Copies of this chain bind each other. A is one copy, B any other.
Amino acid sequence: MNLPDIVDISMGGGGKRMDLLIKFIGEKIGLRNSEEDLIGPLDMDDSSVVQIPNDRIVLTTDGHTVDPVFFPGGNIGDLAVAGTVNDLMVMGCRPLYLTLGMIIEEGFSFNDLGKICETIGENLRRTGVRVIAGDTKVMPKGSLSNIVITTAGIGLMERDAPLQDSAGRPGDVVIVSGTLGDHGAALMAQREGIDLETNLLSDVYPLWPDLKEVVLHEGVRCMKDVTRGGLASALSELATKSKCTVEVVEKKIPVDPRAKAICDILGLEPLEISSEGKVVIVCTEEHSAEVIDLLLKADSGKNAAIIGRMIEGRPEVHVKTEIGGTRLLDKPYGEPIPRVC
C-alpha cells in the first residue's frame, strides 16, 4: 500500500482516501473477515452482524466531529443518534441501544452541552432507542476543538439475512428516499457565511422507525445511508460490491435547488456531499412500486424517487445527463468538506 508519512485531511472523507486509511488500520490490527459467528460482512461496511448464542445482533460505531457544533437544522446530538441508528437500520435491523462517549474541551459551556443532551434525548424518544452506557472525558483547553461524540449501537436482526451492499442484481431498481446533499450544503452555507435568503436545513434525521416497513420489505435487497462522500460514494460501493453497473438518470436525482445554488457558489458537487437522513435502496423491479409507496407515505420519504437501475457491466456508476450523454460518477477522492459530521 502506497501511503504518505502522515494522515491528511482527505482521509477523513467518505472516499478513496478514507478507504486507504481504513485498510491500513484493519491490516495492522489484524482483522479477519471470516469467522463462524460473523453473519454479515465486515468488508469495509461499518456494521457487522454476529450470532451470539441465541440472538443475531448488529453492531456499529460512529464518531462525530461536526464543526460548528450547532448548524442549521440540528446539532451534533442529532448526528450522534441519527448516524448510528441509520447505520444499524440499513442492515435490516431494529436499533435497540446506544453507548455514548463524549469528549469535551475544557471551557465548553454547560448551556450548549445541555442543549446537545436534550437533542440526544429527543432523538432517543423518537426512535425508541436507549442509551445504556456512557463515558465522559475532558481535554485541556486548546487540545480539542469543542466536543466530539462517539456512539456505538446495537440492534437485533429483523430480516432472515442482513441487507448487504453486495446483494444488488442486474435489473434491480435504484431508489433514493429524498433530496441529496442537504446536510453538507446547509453546513457549508453557514460556515462560509453564504446568505441566499434561503433557509436550507440539514436533513439529519434518525430514519427508524419511520422507514421500518421499507427495511422489512421482501423486495429490498440493499440499503445504504448516504453520509460522507454523498450519493457518489454510496452508489460506487453498491456497484463495486454487487459487481454491476449502476445507471442513474441525472434529472431524476432529487436535489433541493437551494443546495444546488450553495454548491454552485462553492464549486461543490451535490452528489458528493453529505446527507444525514437519506438512504439509497436497491430493490427488485417487481416490488419497486410498493417500496416507493411506502417511502412516500413516511415522514422522511416525501421526495423519494426511482433514479435508475443496476445493469450488467463493469462496477461503475453511469449518470445519464440531461443533454443525452453519459458521465462516470467516480467515488470521490475524499469528502470535500472537513468535519461535516
Contacts and interface: CB of A to CB of B under 8 A. Distances in A.
A120 interface: yes
Given A120-B29, A339-B140, A48 B103 contact: no
A273 interface: no
Interface stretch (A108-116, A174-182, A262-270, A295-303): A108-116
Contacts of A102: 25, 63
Interface stretch (A3-11, A274-282, A309-317): A3-11
Given A52-B57, A103-B65, A144-B144, A46 B137 contact: no
A156 interface: yes
A146 to B, nearest CB: 9
Interface stretch (A147-155, A193-201, A252-260): A147-155
Interface stretch (A16-24, A212-220, A233-241, A320-328): A16-24
A202 B328 CA distance: 53
Contacts of A22: 134, 136
A55 to B, nearest CB: 5
A89 interface: no
Interface in A50-78: 50, 52-55, 57, 59-65, 67
A101 B150 contact: yes
Contacts of A137: 12, 63-65, 148, 339
Nearest to A138: B12
Interface of A: 3-9, 11-12, 18, 21-22, 24-26, 28-32, 35, 38, 42, 46-48, 50, 52-55, 57, 59-65, 67, 96-97, 99-111, 113-114, 117-118, 120-121, 124-125, 130-140, 142-145, 148, 150, 152, 154, 156, 338-339
